[in-house]
Structure 1
């Protein structure tokens, strides 16, 4: 064999050996996957999965041996990277792991009530996942130093609960919750001073009967709508961002009957199907509403009484009031000392879009998914916002477990507008401000002066509308 032939043979042999040593791409989705930014792990075998919620101390299955396509859509899969979508606007990123961590395989379900252990798990979980220490002016390291001293004196679960409640209350974050046995909670006693306080239902009922020529509703008053008296202005009040699915043809059921029938149907649906049905329900309701209000030249969308729900529902509703595609917001999740990759959300107009002018009413009680609707309107300057700034809690609620069996939640996602501005705490600002009380009861009662009912928000929009457009 000549030198040239020997060289070719040697190169060929090297290439063969290199290809044998190089790991072959893994074409199977089966395996163990670590979720980025949420402290969760998913194991997949064929078409089934188990989803674990983890802390430094625990690894508890949220769902065991479920059908993957009932809970997630596969967005992308490349060897050691997996992207799943649970039916929301945020995609979840996962990295492949060789095996399930030992503490997930042999997790101890025995409760441990040690104050020190439970405090450390709480503190470390917030340290890793909570996204707004700076915005909420929380020195988390100082909290650890201060409260660790108090742990030595804790003698009961009740005392530990009071300590944790004191820590978490300082955040003033409506998405932070502590789920404990009822026996540990202090029962609220309604004072006689509040006997005459108004409820959300009463206020909304007085709005629609006082200001509208007549009104219709959908899904147990989830949405109510009509046309303002003496004005060609439509009015829609949306009280929640879930339960939109068109499951119950009979809209004349009592609230309790409707809830029971709705939940019966809901139990037969997979998680992904439930969310799909919500969006179909939005289109169903909005087609009816926009048909009834088609001759109006302006619409008021009232979100003042809306505490949130599904962000997909909120943005599906918004899509019926916009006329062009836009990047409206971005999302990232806290991931230790860093963040997950930022995701841009592009909103597309619905097939059936309102053609007139749009105004949105907000209050400090407009929260979570409802204020994601408000955040989305900022990309459309033609939509004007009236009222007070929204609540300032945008993230999905991330739930975690403590060794003693308690559960707690926190905000780990950061929502921003296309320019990178964050509205956590401050909320989405209105274009035209009304100084509504922040306290819910005071807010409801502010609609009443003696025996007179008056909605200054609607009155202000009517005046503005007649000044600008007439």
Structure 2
């Protein structure tokens, strides 16, 4: 039987259940009001490892994996921002989300809050290791394809700790559990003998080279050279730096240039996911790009942020609605959530766009790349992206430590899994060459500008 593409399957689901697709969302708890009566009780998420108990006065979040469960130790009742709105999806199932355009999470009603969630048993080091291992086994994407044997890793980690293990022994066991995971969304943070320890094993090859070249510099000299290369080398002193230094833009005669280094944090006095400080910057830039032969959008040093920000930016380059990708939680029986790009009502540029990426381009920078690749006027140039698309799932541990992991599968237009693979450019180009880490980026962009003028780059023709 021919396998339907993912987006075709989503279309079938939409036709089969239009009432669900069009149902409105309601506040979980309207201001000054109790929690909606329909929500009272315990609910378990499909994927993600959450249980939430709704009472009249609010929600309490629990973390769960295997048979284990414990109250989330963070102070906020909704620390991950996923329980602002809800809607019914049939008997005993609801969707929760943080916003109308945010990720949607399916929850199923439980008869009662599970006993382990309120048990008083001590969280000893061996129990913490078991919980961490069970979490990765249940939710880490593409474990089989990556040849990750979580039962064996769990056994090896448990062999290093007992109920009375020290913090140092616990750290060794947990860091060994995730050893070899080259994934920027995997993290472990803790305190050992009064000193903070952090493990973030997923650095890109380019940034590893930067750190090797200047071990004590923490990228400062390299980032300064990157900035100067843009403002002086590419934009010849006529560029603009805006939105809390997250955006550079300008024109090089007939070619526009827009560089975005994060998908969020565009003002110090606004929430990091607030797009409003970015909107006037894009308005001004898009107006300046009017009549340009082409536009270069550079996310080669984009470290991620918020998918909704990327979606808002991509809308500035869309001439009509386009399906971009879909996402689904790992290990869950849930329909994929399709993500579309709708043309912005504000100023747009729908001429030829060259999107520059590298192995530094990660997370929301990559989902933005996915959105842009859905547009027929966009050509991806540069290097393959990092391959970390999933939202990062924080898991605070009961001893005060914390870990994080990806827990979603992102699917391309043909239904292909993207997590761990990255997006291959239409036109390869060395953005941060080995022999010229500090100045190679500006030279590469200037070379791209010359090729665009010569008509030597081409377009994807999608």
TM-score, normalised relative to structure 1 = 0.76
The CA distance in 2 between the partners of 1:51 and 1:145, in whole Å, is: 29
Does residue 1:446 correspond to 2:437, yes or no? yes
The CA distance in 2 between the partners of 1:199 and 1:192, in whole Å, is: 10
Does residue 1:59 correspond to 2:70, yes or no? yes
Does residue 1:86 correspond to 2:108, yes or no? no
Go from structure 1 to structure 2 and tell me whether the alpha carbon gap of 1:124 and 1:446 turns closer, same or farther (over 3 Å shift): same
Go from structure 1 to structure 2 and tell me whether the alpha carbon gap of 1:377 and 1:185 turns closer, same or farther (over 3 Å shift): same
Question: Which position in structure 2 is the counterpart of 1:345?
Answer: 339
Go from structure 1 to structure 2 and tell me whether the alpha carbon gap of 1:195 and 1:104 turns closer, same or farther (over 3 Å shift): closer
Question: Which position in structure 2 is the counterpart of 1:460?
Answer: 448
The CA distance in 2 between the partners of 1:298 and 1:185, in whole Å, is: 46
Question: Which position in structure 2 is the counterpart of 1:39?
Answer: 49
Go from structure 1 to structure 2 and tell me whether the alpha carbon gap of 1:99 and 1:122 turns closer, same or farther (over 3 Å shift): same
Question: Which position in structure 2 is the counterpart of 1:269?
Answer: none
Does residue 1:417 correspond to 2:412, yes or no? yes
Superposition deviation, residue 425 in structure 1: 2.1
Question: Which position in structure 1 is the counterpart of 2:197?
Answer: 185
The CA distance in 2 between the partners of 1:68 and 1:411, in whole Å, is: 14
- Within a 5 Å distance, the mapping from 1:380-419 to structure 2 comes to 380-419=375-414
Verify the 8 A CA contact 1:223 1:238 in the aligned structure 2: yes
Verify the 8 A CA contact 2:60 2:71 in the aligned structure 1: no
The CA distance in 2 between the partners of 1:323 and 1:174, in whole Å, is: 33
TM-score, normalised relative to structure 2 = 0.77
Question: Which position in structure 1 is the counterpart of 2:177?
Answer: 167
Deviations 1:115-162 (A, max 9, x none): x32221111111111122134332223323444444479953223313
Q: Cα RMSD over matched residues?
A: 3.4
Structure whose residues are more often helix by fraction:
1
Alignment match of 1:324 (pick from 320, 323, 333): 320
Deviates more, 1:350-359 or 1:39-48: 39-48
Does residue 1:216 correspond to 2:240, yes or no? yes
The CA distance in 1 between the partners of 2:143 and 2:92, in whole Å, is: 32
Superposition deviation, residue 291 in structure 1: 1.5
Superposition deviation, residue 282 in structure 1: 3.7
Question: Which position in structure 2 is the counterpart of 1:226?
Answer: 250
The CA distance in 2 between the partners of 1:283 and 1:79, in whole Å, is: 41
Go from structure 1 to structure 2 and tell me whether the alpha carbon gap of 1:444 and 1:139 turns closer, same or farther (over 3 Å shift): farther
The CA distance in 1 between the partners of 2:160 and 2:41, in whole Å, is: 44
How many residue pairs get matched? Answer: 404
Go from structure 1 to structure 2 and tell me whether the alpha carbon gap of 1:237 and 1:444 turns closer, same or farther (over 3 Å shift): farther
Go from structure 1 to structure 2 and tell me whether the alpha carbon gap of 1:191 and 1:125 turns closer, same or farther (over 3 Å shift): closer
The answer for unaligned runs of 5 or more in structure 2 is 1-35, 201-210
The answer for unaligned runs of 5 or more in structure 1 is 1-25, 246-258, 267-273
Deviations 1:384-410 (A, max 9, x none): 011100000011111223343321111
Verify the 8 A CA contact 2:82 2:96 in the aligned structure 1: no
Go from structure 1 to structure 2 and tell me whether the alpha carbon gap of 1:423 and 1:457 turns closer, same or farther (over 3 Å shift): farther
Deviations 1:19-59 (A, max 9, x none): xxxxxxx9723332222111112233347333333344332
Verify the 8 A CA contact 1:364 1:389 in the aligned structure 2: yes
- Within a 5 Å distance, the mapping from 1:254-293 to structure 2 comes to 259=268, 262=269, 266=271, 275=273, 278-293=274-289
Go from structure 1 to structure 2 and tell me whether the alpha carbon gap of 1:408 and 1:99 turns closer, same or farther (over 3 Å shift): same
Secondary structure at the residue paired with 1:181? strand
Deviates more, 1:369-378 or 1:203-212: 203-212
Alignment match of 1:203 (pick from 210, 216, 226): 226
Verify the 8 A CA contact 2:409 2:418 in the aligned structure 1: no
The CA distance in 2 between the partners of 1:368 and 1:83, in whole Å, is: 24
- Within a 5 Å distance, the mapping from 1:303-322 to structure 2 comes to 303-322=299-318
Deviations 1:243-268 (A, max 9, x none): 236xxxxxxxxxxxxx4xx2xx54xx
Secondary structure at the residue paired with 2:38? coil
The CA distance in 2 between the partners of 1:97 and 1:343, in whole Å, is: 24
Go from structure 1 to structure 2 and tell me whether the alpha carbon gap of 1:350 and 1:310 turns closer, same or farther (over 3 Å shift): same
Verify the 8 A CA contact 1:58 1:401 in the aligned structure 2: no
